[in-house]
Structure 1
Amino acid sequence: MDANIVKILVSSPIFHDISPSQLDIMLECLKPKINTFSKNSYIAVQGEPYTGLGILLSGEASIIKESASGSRVIMTVIRPGDLFGEMIAFSPRKHWPASVFAQSTCSVMFLPPEKIIGECTHVCGGYKQLIKNMLVLLSTKALMLNQRVEYLAIKGMREKISIYLLEQYKINQKHTFILPLKRNELADFLSVSRTALSRELGRMRDEGIIEFYRTSVKINNLAMLRRGAE
């Protein structure tokens, strides 16, 4: 396996605490497939047959939930080392529950889920850690989906933005940080229009609460931001 790919894989949460040497042996059993997708193409399409647990090796992609009417919501943005399709991997339902869209040229490794829980012919110790990592990932994803539902329940625009920025502040532990989502992605994540989001961010800037430039945000008045989240 290419050294650059191994470097990305060992940094991926599914291979946490698995050494490069163990990973090399495991990949012989897992027999992954690597595919390349051009920018603005679909890596996976909601409703189509499931093709395996995906690990993004290069590029950037978004996971999108689409309704029958054609509206869409960006669930998250993934980058090298991130996974997708883990929630459906061990389900009897074998169709993609959401679409994965390549925002740039992407290289993706697909792991057959039956190989993850199957017996390792090399009897390598990494398999126990792999299964443990999968359980942690599934638990974390369940918590994230719960957070998404919480945002849907929030009615006020200012409240949604304030809560989101406060969460990013807690994650980064500093007043200036880079948002993980672009403006249109953030609008989809919060289930608001981009125009309304931009307008409210502008008001918060004019009130001296925040400053922003593209995805960079600086909190100038933490107390006022917290009041907006109430």
Structure 2
Amino acid sequence: MYTKWLNKLKNVKLFENIELDELNRMLICLKPKIAYYKKKEYITIAENEFTGIGIVIQGEVVVTKENAAGDRVIMAKLKENSIFGEVIAFSNDDKWPVTVIASTDCIVLFFTPNKILGNCPKMCIGHKLLIQNMLKIVSQKALELNRKIEYLSMKSIRSKISAYLLEQYSIVGRNKFTVPLKRHELAEFLNVSRPSLSREIIKMKEEGIIDFYKSSFEIIDVDLLKSNV
């Protein structure tokens, strides 16, 4: 049942350092649910009952949350091999804190948390590695959420744009790159209106700080961009 997904799942951080044969045995033991979704279909809805940790094995999804004003804020855009629901999974809450939507047709694998942390009835060799990997993933997610809070706490649109572009610059290691978010998604991620975002990006281009075309950006003056954060 899971064999055809093994080559994809071996690249998921949750299964890092686990051999394929062992991974196959673990999947048979853990019995994750495979779910199929169409583009724009809701995978989870905030405040609905928590259904388990999700792994995107095909397609892309967006993780969203409504702010106090009722506007949708994009928390993350997840591609293949990405995980969602891992933070809430080991808390005392049994409700989804976010809404997850399929941005393309996608396939998601769902694991129940108790099967990950519970005693493995078959004494799988990789189970200890699975738990260690999960702890690393949860820690990394906490750091990412902290960065998201930093974006939301910035008062000016320019400072948010500058911080985001500098982070992408740091990730790719060069001044020309394509951001993973479309313009309206970037506006939601930074919690600003799309027209305001576009106006500010145009101003930054006119001032010689950046250049851009659609989702592709070039940082012309790194120091000047840093001064805007």
Q: TM-score if structure 1 supplies the norm length?
A: 0.95
The 2-side partners of 1:209 and 1:48 are apart by 44
Unaligned runs of 5+ in 2: none
Write out aligned runs for 1:117-196 (5 A). 117-196=117-196
Aligned to 1:62: 62
User: 3-state SS of the aligned residue for 1:192?
Assistant: coil
Segments of 4+ moved more than 3 angstroms: 1-4, 67-70
The 2-side partners of 1:89 and 1:226 are apart by 37
Residues 45 and 98 in structure 1, CA contact (< 8 A), matched pair in contact too: yes
Aligned-residue CA RMSD in angstroms?
A: 1.4
Range moving further from structure 2, 35-44 or 145-154: 145-154
Amino acid at match of 1:114: N
Percent identity over paired residues? 46
Residues 2 and 27 in structure 2, CA contact (< 8 A), matched pair in contact too: no
Aligned to 2:197: 197
Amino acid at match of 1:162: S
Task: Sort the Cα spacing of 1:219 and 1:4 in 2 relative to 1 into closer, same or farther, 3 A.
Answer: farther
Aligned to 2:35: 35
The 1-side partners of 2:76 and 2:198 are apart by 19
User: 3-state SS of the aligned residue for 1:87?
Assistant: helix
The 1-side partners of 2:184 and 2:210 are apart by 19
Q: TM-score if structure 2 supplies the norm length?
A: 0.95
The 2-side partners of 1:67 and 1:203 are apart by 27
User: 3-state SS of the aligned residue for 1:101?
Assistant: strand
Distance apart, 1:4 and its partner CA = 4.6
Deviation track 1:187-211 (CA, whole Å, cap 9, x = no partner) reads 1111111110011111111122111
Amino acid at match of 1:62: V
Matched, 1:83 2:75: no
The 2-side partners of 1:141 and 1:185 are apart by 20
User: 3-state SS of the aligned residue for 1:88?
Assistant: helix
Matched, 1:47 2:53: no
Amino acid at match of 1:30: L
The 2-side partners of 1:82 and 1:214 are apart by 25
Distance apart, 1:227 and its partner CA = 1.8
What is the count of residue pairs matched by the alignment? 229
Distance apart, 1:2 and its partner CA = 4.9
Residues 25 and 122 in structure 1, CA contact (< 8 A), matched pair in contact too: no
User: 3-state SS of the aligned residue for 2:198?
Assistant: helix
The 2-side partners of 1:182 and 1:154 are apart by 21
The 2-side partners of 1:67 and 1:214 are apart by 27
Distance apart, 1:40 and its partner CA = 0.9
Amino acid at match of 1:81: N
Deviation track 1:90-114 (CA, whole Å, cap 9, x = no partner) reads 2221111100011111111001111
Deviation track 1:136-185 (CA, whole Å, cap 9, x = no partner) reads 11111111111111112111111111111111111111111111211111
Residues 86 and 138 in structure 2, CA contact (< 8 A), matched pair in contact too: yes
Amino acid at match of 2:178: I
Task: Sort the Cα spacing of 1:69 and 1:191 in 2 relative to 1 into closer, same or farther, 3 A.
Answer: closer
The 2-side partners of 1:175 and 1:46 are apart by 37
